[in-house]
Amino acid sequence: MTAQIPYDHQAELEDVLERCNALRQAPVPSGDALPEGYTGTLGHFPVYFPEEIAHAAGLLPVSVLGGGNKLEMKHADARMGSFVCSICRSTAELGLNGSLQSLSGFITHPICDAAKHLAGIWSRNFPEQLSQILYLPQNVNTPGAVRYVAAEYQRLRAELERKTGRSISDEALRASIRVYNENRRLLRDLYAVRRDEPWKLSCTESYLLTRARTRIPCEEHNALLGRALDAIGQRRQAAQDKPRVVFVGGFCEQPPLEMLETIDGNCYVVDDDLLVGLRWLTSDVPDAGDPVWALAESFVERSAASPVQHDARKTKEGYLMEMISSSRADGAVLTAAKFCEPGLDEQVAWSKHLDQLRVPYLVLEFEEKMTSFEQMGMQVETFAESLLFTLA
């Protein structure tokens, strides 16, 4: 009789995380490297992009999240003002240095002036790509909002049909919605671990696991998340004496990984708005009936708040407090990307509100290209210690 070799959950998780980290730095797949069944890739800028429509068109949705802190800026700085946020500048650089030349198209949203102008830069410099702005309603609290979003989604659908020469059937859209519903469920499970047993999964690990979907099909991401969740469930890690915090401000430009690691080293990050553009629909999208209407209705009724969505039902202070209370956080790390007007606006409102309620918080500014974290490390450590002192 052969002895059973015990299944090594830690090794399995490390293997998945290693793959995710490699995907974070991987080029956009093209030609023979495209996953089976896909004819091209569609780039989209944060935040609220319905990937299901690209997926149903046979285009791999590629969330474009800037160039990180290893990208050498050679072209974009000469074409954009130095007061523009890093993600816009590094995205333009990735286009101009050829890293995104295989995209079939690039879609952005008028979430702010910088993102709006990126579409113009794209269409002028890369005329071979489909370059579009997907307009979302300025006011979602009007009776016509769902109809308006559905019309925009139909326009996008028609543009993708023209670009690929392939029609997108309702059935294909419903099938894509089902694949993404599974993804939404898995991501909710991932965040439940962070909330309920944060010692089993750090913010950095959860970030890497979520971000992997920017380079692989959603089906493959579902399998990856399934493997990771099984391994995390078996993880044996003791809880440490760390305060519980929420992290906000990572909805568009992405903070460097080292920044997340710095915070993880001192706190349990029990909720965040990182990569919210990959998980903005907060519950399942109905997979029966008109799929475009279902997606549009989900955007209006069941989407995550962010500083670039204006909805009277989700006040700046309200959604932060909801995050803090539902994750039982002791405090908050309020961040904003340098030069990000919507993010900085939100930060002011948040800090004022937390002052009134006497909820402890730490304000940090970041830039995707930052490389020094020593000072930030000291700030986070002091904040964590003061939280622990208050809680003792």
d(CA 59, CA 46): 17
What is the nearest approach in angstroms of ligand SF4 to the Cβ of residue 77? 16
Binding window for ligand SF4 (CB under 6 A); candidates: 109-117, 123-131, 311-319, 364-372: 109-117
- Closer to ligand SF4 by Cβ: residue 294 or 308: 308
Closest to 189 (Cα-Cα) out of 175, 212, 206: 206
Does position 340 interact with ligand SF4 (CB under 6 A)? The reply is: yes
What is the nearest approach in angstroms of ligand SF4 to the Cβ of residue 100? 16
User: Exactly one of 62, 112, 140, 218 binds ligand SF4 (CB under 6 A); which one?
Assistant: 112
- Closer to ligand SF4 by Cβ: residue 17 or 344: 344
User: Exactly one of 57, 60, 111, 187 binds ligand SF4 (CB under 6 A); which one?
Assistant: 111
* Cβ-contact 250, 335 below 8 angstroms: yes
- Closer to ligand SF4 by Cβ: residue 94 or 228: 94
Does position 87 interact with ligand SF4 (CB under 6 A)? The reply is: yes
Which one-letter DSSP state was computed for residue 281?
A: B
Does position 243 interact with ligand SF4 (CB under 6 A)? The reply is: no
Query: What is the size of the binding site for ligand SF4 (CB under 6 A)?
Result: 15
Strand partners, 365: 336
Max alpha carbon distance in the chain (Å)? 70
From the centroid of its chain, how far is CA 338?
Answer: 18
Per DSSP (E only), the strands in 123-177 are 130-133
Does position 252 interact with ligand SF4 (CB under 6 A)? The reply is: yes
User: Exactly one of 133, 337, 364, 380 binds ligand SF4 (CB under 6 A); which one?
Assistant: 337
Per DSSP (E only), the strands in the chain are 40-44, 59-63, 105-108, 130-133, 244-248, 268-272, 331-337, 361-366
d(CA 204, CA 21): 10
Residues of the shown chain interacting with ligand SF4 in the complex, contacts defined by CB under 6 A: 85, 87-88, 111-112, 114-115, 252-253, 308, 337, 340-343
